[in-house]
Amino acid sequence: MTQGISQKKAAEFLKQYGFNELPSAKPKNVWQIALEVIQEPMFILLMFCGFVYVLLGDYTEGMILLCWVFVIIFITFYQHRKTEKSLEALRQLSSPRALVIRDGEEIRIPGREVVPEDVVILNEGDRVPADAILLESQHLTIDESLLTGESVPVIKTEEKEAHVFSGTLIVQGKGKAKVTHTGSETQFGKIGVSLQNIEQESTRLQKEMKRLIRSLFLMGIAISIGVILAFYLTRGNFLNSLLNGLASAMSILPEEFPVVLTIFLALGAWRLSKNNVLTRKPSAIETLGSATVLCSDKTGTITQNKMEVA
């Protein structure tokens, strides 16, 4: 019988290699979320319009516009936190308990405490807790569609020094395997690390909005300067000329755009959440709404794999 490693050695390996889990990004605080929201051109426009109204003496209209900024920040923060909590619950559920041999005894431990050189016992219905080399196999069949996309289960035998991979599902048989890699060093973990390096680009609506705001802003500046010069040359009062120039610019600045667009995207995220779909960023609503064709491969992975958060 395989003795496995000792508890003492397992503790040393755990300190050396860390927990068997994917590194997760630190949750953003309210100030980081607020900064990201305010940096958007449409919100800058909204704040600019609000300050201009205050300068023109229309305090009620100005305060209403500025209050909408805080409403939008609240909606974005609420949606972000709600999604993060659901994803955190899902991450905890995705780290099941593992049956390992230590000091010659079979013990069940949290999957996050599995370390390299651990001998793991694999039974039907289990998730493989880490990448490992197969030591024993009794009709062991594993669903590796999570990594390969192939929905047909794969038969594993120890004669070929077969590898089993973290996150894959045992659909039949049983076996023993010696862990080689854990956490972000597993094949599944490498995919997670690579996804963290993806830079998010602006959506088409955001690009069009930036272009529209820039054009209207330049047009507003040109009209404002023209009105200021004309008023000053005919009336001679610079302060009144400045106020009239700003009022003319305000007449073409669409201050409602940021509010309307944000509320519609937030309502879309809310409607999706009613159908058990998580939306981390409201901009994903626009991308989903722009989809006209859905493509899937012949393996049937999209229809066969099932994931549900309860």
CA angle 228, 234, 239 (to 5 degrees): 45
Q: What amino acid is encoded at 237 in this protein?
A: N
The residue extents of the domains of the chain are 7-21+96-188, 30-91+203-278
pTM of the model: 0.56
Catalytic residue among 103, 118, 126, 297: 297
Q: What is the pLDDT of residue 30?
A: 66
End-to-end CA distance of the chain: 40
Assigned CATH topology for domain 7-21+96-188: 2.70.150
In angstroms, rounded to a whole number, what is the distance separating the alpha carbons of residues 172 and 174? 7
DSSP per-residue letters across 112-134: GG--TT-EEEE-TTPBP-SEEEE
Residues of the chain with pLDDT under 70: 1, 23-30, 33-34, 36-46, 49, 76, 79-80, 83, 86-95, 160-161, 196, 198, 200, 250, 253-259, 262, 280, 282, 296-310
In terms of Cα–Cα distance, which of 242, 255, 256, 252 is closest to 220? 252
Q: Is 103 part of the annotated catalytic residue set?
A: no
Q: What is the pLDDT of residue 64?
A: 80
Q: Provide the H-helix boundaries in 18-168.
A: 30-38, 41-55, 59-93, 145-148
Q: What is the pLDDT of residue 221?
A: 81
In angstroms, rounded to a whole number, what is the distance separating the alpha carbons of residues 196 and 25? 9
In terms of Cα–Cα distance, which of 58, 72, 59, 46 is closest to 253? 46
In angstroms, rounded to a whole number, what is the distance separating the alpha carbons of residues 258 and 49? 11
Contacts of 94 (CB under 8 A, 6+ apart): 167
